[in-house]
């Protein structure tokens, strides 16, 4: 069985041969339009400056706060926000870079970074964006509507040229304690525009995964009703066992290995990684619907993650074999 075949079983809520590891079963198309310079300091496709915080961090660049924001007043967005010209990018070259054999063996993944709320916070800053939601809701909504137009167009380019199996739509909506905004505010300002992006992805038969760090569990039922099929990052601040029990027949978990704990701390032993693998497998593997990996891609140690992935594969292979034997 190929990694692709095994992962598709998990995605379709069938019990696979083993729990797929995201790093093993996917091939990443890359960030064609430079939504965010991920590894090094630089300028993104909207003109926002990013800065890497230090060589000891993984995947981490942050908006360079030493530079003035592109947008200080949300009412001026029509004059100051310039959408990238998507036709200016080398889509055919990006498509050609995906080996044909990889499409047969793995899932092709496109990570669509900087969702609507995240992009607004990079054009302004977090504080000003949150204030604009309350003080200028109509202007903020109009900005998000235009950004959603761009995202829908981006989906069309991705689908036409890259033909991915999976799109990660990346928009963080919560802290470790709860959402950045009330449910009413989310429903009024973010949900309608996000729905258009979801619909664009789903219209092409692409598996839709929403990435949001933080305690976002209160939004998950509505997000499922909107059309998401998967959720990444599945951090431990959420009641993962409760979500599996109540939504596990509809929701695919992508991630869930604790990179704010054992995968990201000094002094982690193989036994600690093995315990995390067993704990999360017992919780999330029944009935399929889990692809393992780090749950935030922020502070994790890559070597520790790969070890934990291997422990998950070893234990889940035995786990699923025992369940099949019991079922006869």
- Would you state the structure tokens that stand for residue 306, as one six-digit string? 């790969």
Indicate if the pLDDT at residue 299 is higher than 80. no
How much of the chain, in percent, has pLDDT values that exceed 70? Answer: 97
- Residues 6 or more apart in contact with residue 98 via CB below 8 angstroms: 27, 29, 108, 162
Residue 277: pLDDT band (50, 70, 90) is very high
Indicate if the pLDDT at residue 54 is higher than 70. no
| Secondary structure (DSSP) of 25-88 | HEEE---TT-SS--SS-EE-TTS-EEEE--TTSSS-EEE-TTSPPS-SSGGGHHHH-----GGG
Does 254 fall in a domain?
A: yes
Does 45 fall in a domain?
A: no
Does 43 fall in a domain?
A: no
The predicted pLDDT at position 204 comes to 98
Domain residues for the domain of 165 are 3-35+81-327
Q: What is the CATH number of the domain that holds 240?
A: 3.20.20.210
Give the mean model confidence (pLDDT) for residues 27-32.
94
For residue 303, with 0-12 CB atoms within 10 Å meaning exposed, 13-18 middle and 19 or more buried, which class applies?
exposed
Does 285 fall in a domain?
A: yes
- Our count of domains for the chain comes to 1
Residue 300: pLDDT band (50, 70, 90) is low
Give the C-alpha separation, 310 to 20, whole Å: 10
Does 205 fall in a domain?
A: yes
The predicted pLDDT at position 59 comes to 59
Give the mean model confidence (pLDDT) for residues 267-291.
97
The predicted pLDDT at position 75 comes to 97
Indicate if the pLDDT at residue 301 is higher than 90. no
Does 48 fall in a domain?
A: no
- List, for residues 130-152, the tens digit of each pLDDT value: 999 999 999 999 999 999 999 99
The predicted pLDDT at position 122 comes to 97
**Does residue 244 contact residue 288 with C-beta atoms inside 8 Å?**
no
- Residues 6 or more apart in contact with residue 46 via CB below 8 angstroms: 70, 81, 82, 83, 84, 119, 122, 123
Indicate if the pLDDT at residue 254 is higher than 80. yes
Give the mean model confidence (pLDDT) for residues 49-74.
82
Across the chain, what does the average pLDDT equal? 94
Give the mean model confidence (pLDDT) for residues 31-56.
87
Residue 328: pLDDT band (50, 70, 90) is confident
Residue 295: pLDDT band (50, 70, 90) is confident
Indicate if the pLDDT at residue 56 is higher than 70. no
């Amino acid at each position: 069985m190929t990694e692709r075949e095994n992962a598709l079983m998990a995605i379709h809520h069938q019990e696979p041969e083993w729990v797929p590891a995201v790093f093993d079963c996917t091939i990443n198309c890359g960030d064609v339009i430079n939504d965010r310079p991920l590894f090094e300091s630089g300028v993104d496709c909207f003109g926002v400056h990013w800065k890497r915080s230090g060589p000891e961090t993984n995947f981490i660049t942050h908006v360079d706060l030493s530079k003035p924001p592109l947008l200080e007043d949300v009412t001026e967005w029509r004059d100051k926000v310039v959408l990238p010209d998507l036709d200016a990018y080398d889509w055919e070259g990006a498509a050609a870079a995906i080996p044909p054999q990889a499409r047969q063996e793995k899932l092709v993944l496109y990570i669509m970074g900087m969702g609507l709320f995240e992009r607004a916070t990079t054009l302004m800053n977090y504080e000003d964006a949150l204030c604009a939601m309350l003080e200028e809701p109509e202007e903020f909504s109009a900005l998000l509507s235009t950004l959603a137009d761009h995202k829908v167009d981006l989906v069309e380019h991705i689908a036409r040229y890259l033909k991915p199996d999976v799109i990660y739509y990346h928009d963080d909506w919560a802290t470790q304690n709860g959402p950045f905004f009330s449910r009413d505010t989310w429903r009024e300002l973010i949900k309608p525009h996000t729905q258009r992006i979801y619909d664009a992805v789903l219209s092409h038969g692409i598996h839709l995964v929403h990435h949001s760090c933080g305690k976002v569990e209160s939004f998950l039922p509505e997000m499922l009703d909107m059309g998401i099929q998967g959720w990444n990052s599945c951090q431990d601040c959420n009641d993962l066992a409760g979500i599996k029990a109540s939504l596990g027949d509809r929701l695919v978990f992508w991630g869930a290995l604790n990179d704010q704990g054992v995968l990201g701390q000094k002094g982690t032993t193989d036994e600690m990684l093995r315990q995390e693998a067993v704990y999360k497998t017992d919780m999330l593997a029944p009935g399929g619907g889990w692809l393992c990996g780090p749950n935030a891609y922020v502070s994790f140690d890559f070597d520790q993650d790969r070890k934990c992935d291997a422990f998950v594969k070893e234990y889940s292979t035995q786990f699923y074999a025992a369940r099949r034997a019991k079922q006869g």
